[in-house]
Structure 1
């Protein structure tokens, strides 16, 4: 009788093992907030640098002295801006409501240096209102750049940082209260060293009270309140690696500061992913002489791969001209970028492969989940086993020149070393140099290389902080639009 009871107990215990094996991995380390997850899913955001600088001769950093009368767009149409973004597949936009010159694109109650004293619409216009209304009409997410540094206010003999703290707070409250949902606010660090962390704490409370879902871009002294960080340059090149986690950067020397922004730190004490800002033209504001210098589709693809494809989000600037319109070349190149991205990633060439893995958590987390195209499924390994080899065997040889891999970022940074190889016989493996001993994965990592032909592809997870959790892995052929 005791033997039967013992046997039954064993059977019951064993019956629970598959259920345990099917449990999702426990998150490791720091993980993104809901705001950060939504931000990552945008992948691309448009920046609109527009203001009084647009109407000066080749000015990108105004001194705050230009007359308000010169602001006079002759055909402002924010709907045309949104049409550009829809064609480019960009789901969100940020407007420079006030740049460092201090000129305000809305009729602020707290300054005369604004559109209410412009020639445009006899002072009755409001660019911010037209912008957010157009975003809403086209189903896009509106963001606001309210430059912390203000050269016009510095011209006042009454200027003090305490007075400016309240001035800026009033304007921030106007924008966060009167213009509907604001998805991101941008605290540029340029020129703002005098603005200390306690000042930003005062402003932070306004954002969180008025717009709890608003992502805050911050750097320097606003860093403690940032959801996302600057990535350290304006060339569109996020680091390799580019970790979403980062250390406090205030104590670093200059070289360490920029390296920390660009690459983050796998051991970082804060989850603040990098946003990659770059202009589609050489300058941030529109200049007619740059109409022939708009970045080519191939250049934009390079930037896409070193931003979105480096665990970042691309913030691409489209400067409206003096009419208040996006130039057709800018619009065309952005639309062709979308077409090329869609063509490149339309078909995962590994989708029909037979797949074997050395470290599988269970059927629910099998390696085939990496190629099923489903948003909610992923491959995962067993607890405490950080390594895995996943072999994809195809019915016949394929040619590819690009790969893309995505980690389950809700579970934290897990894999810290990975490589990709290919073979024709499953015994002799050839490394792809550009995809050897890579570190970060994060939301998305893209690697491009000279075309190779193979029947088998092997993804090697070589090290990590926790068992692998890979949402997607695939190889692809780049669109002809991106060929040099």
Structure 2
């Protein structure tokens, strides 16, 4: 009886994480270091999130309004949030965050707690509610809705006082109670230095009570409540390496820890992965004179590899124009980006390979699981070895220029150094320079390199904190997918 209880205890971490439970030689690896919570795992799987900066700044042609513009100035001529979400559906972006209130303090919903909101504009006869139109559109098109509620407020004279903490809590409650599921709340650190940890403690309690599944993007004094962190720039580029692990003090004191925010800390005490924010245009809000400066498909492709491909989630901003629509140029660029993503990653060229490993765990953790594409299976090495070598004998010679490796992030960051080689003849090995002595893996790591033609590929795990636990290995050829019917006219 005690032996059985002992086995249950040994496998408890796997049970809690929802991972397979096997006995004897097939026990699941134990987690190492900080591990993600359920909210973070769901967040990772989105991979890309849209940001919608739309508000008073759109109509004053500002990026940082001072809070004095009159509500009457808010007058979109053709607002259609379903157009926004249709753009996202075509772009394959499953989640979106709306700026409900930026630092100018103007509220994109008829808040009961201020005179600086849509209630005081004649648009929609004073009954306008962009937050509702946004969340309704998200629901209709299967998009997960999030909210940016700017902590900094240049309009409200109570900013920085306990009375402002009450005001913000009331608005937070309005948004979290009245608009359905909110999957992320974005607490910008810009200008918010007067807001103490005590304020955020109260507001975080509100989030957890009203929307327990909601991810918190936290900075500075909200660091203790952060499910994801700023990556240290507004270019959408996360570091190499990029660990999800980080000390919470580095998030709090961000100005002194920009490199840590960008790269994480291999031995950081908390699991708070990076969210890489960037605008598709030079500015966050729409300006007509930037229509010729929208990021090209190639620039977006580069950003994708350095965000999603660097163990991060990409937060890509679309600034709707004064009509209240995503501009056609912006939509076309992300349509094309999706065609490039789909075309490249549709087929894993390693599929069908015979896979062998140096230190197989055995049982149902076999190396073939690296190629099966199933969400619940993975390869694991033996507990006695933190290094390993896996060889993929391809069914035929393949030409590829992209590599993907995914760790079982539920078990924590484990691998700390790895390389990929290839063989033209199946006997001798050549290094792929871009894939040599890499460090972090995490949820997903992508590498682009010069095209090579190989009969075999070798993944060498040369350093780690514990045995490898890897979900997917793939090799791919960069290419556009054929245009889908809905993009035929783009």
TM-score band by shorter chain is over 0.9
Which structure 1 residue ranges, 5 or more long, are not aligned? 1-17
100, 109, 113: which one aligns with 1:110:
113
126, 132, 141: which one aligns with 1:129:
132
SS of the equivalent of 1:204 reads: helix
Deviations 1:248-293 (A, max 9, x none): 3359876641011111111111111111111111110011111111
Deviations 1:175-223 (A, max 9, x none): 1111111110000000001111111101111111110000000011101
SS of the equivalent of 1:342 reads: helix
Aligned to 2:53: 49
More displaced, 346-355 or 45-54? 346-355
* Per-residue deviation, 1:427: 4.1
Aligned to 1:86: 89
Structure 2 length normalisation: TM-score?
0.92
Aligned to 1:23: 27
* Per-residue deviation, 1:480: 4.5
CA distance in 1, matches of 2:159, 2:474: 57
CA distance in 1, matches of 2:119, 2:475: 54
Structure 1 length normalisation: TM-score?
0.93
Deviations 1:81-122 (A, max 9, x none): 010011011111100000000000001111111111113112
Which structure 2 residue ranges, 5 or more long, are not aligned? 1-21, 482-490
CA distance in 2, matches of 1:202, 1:386: 43
CA contact (8 A) 2:245 2:268 kept: yes
CA distance in 2, matches of 1:391, 1:180: 48
CA contact (8 A) 2:220 2:254 kept: no
Aligned to 2:142: 139
CA distance in 2, matches of 1:216, 1:479: 36
* Per-residue deviation, 1:368: 1.0
CA contact (8 A) 1:70 1:119 kept: no
Aligned to 2:437: 437
CA distance in 2, matches of 1:432, 1:176: 49
Aligned to 2:360: 360
Q: Which structure would you say has the larger Rg? A: 1
Aligned to 1:150: 153
* Per-residue deviation, 1:396: 3.0
CA distance in 1, matches of 2:421, 2:79: 52
CA distance in 2, matches of 1:293, 1:172: 35
1:320 aligns with 2:320: yes
Q: How many residues align?
A: 461
CA distance in 1, matches of 2:394, 2:309: 25
Q: Cα–Cα, structure 1 residues 160 and 90, in superposed 2: closer, same or farther, change >3 Å? A: closer
Q: Cα–Cα, structure 1 residues 387 and 139, in superposed 2: closer, same or farther, change >3 Å? A: same
Deviations 1:418-467 (A, max 9, x none): 00011123443211111111111000000001111111110000111110
CA contact (8 A) 1:370 1:472 kept: yes
CA distance in 2, matches of 1:325, 1:240: 36
CA distance in 2, matches of 1:68, 1:255: 34
CA contact (8 A) 2:341 2:480 kept: no
* Per-residue deviation, 1:367: 1.1
Aligned to 1:34: 38
CA distance in 2, matches of 1:392, 1:79: 45
Aligned to 1:12: none
CA contact (8 A) 1:249 1:260 kept: no
* Per-residue deviation, 1:245: 0.8
CA distance in 2, matches of 1:251, 1:422: 40
Aligned to 1:6: none
* Per-residue deviation, 1:363: 3.4
Aligned to 1:200: 200
CA contact (8 A) 1:32 1:271 kept: yes
Q: Cα–Cα, structure 1 residues 126 and 255, in superposed 2: closer, same or farther, change >3 Å? A: closer
Aligned to 2:302: 302
CA distance in 1, matches of 2:152, 2:140: 31
CA contact (8 A) 2:254 2:261 kept: no
CA distance in 2, matches of 1:364, 1:68: 62
Deviations 1:366-417 (A, max 9, x none): 1111011111111100013111111111233211111001000111111010
Aligned to 2:18: none
More displaced, 328-337 or 232-241? 328-337
CA distance in 2, matches of 1:359, 1:339: 38
CA contact (8 A) 2:387 2:463 kept: yes
SS of the equivalent of 1:151 reads: coil
More displaced, 41-50 or 248-257? 248-257
CA distance in 1, matches of 2:454, 2:212: 50
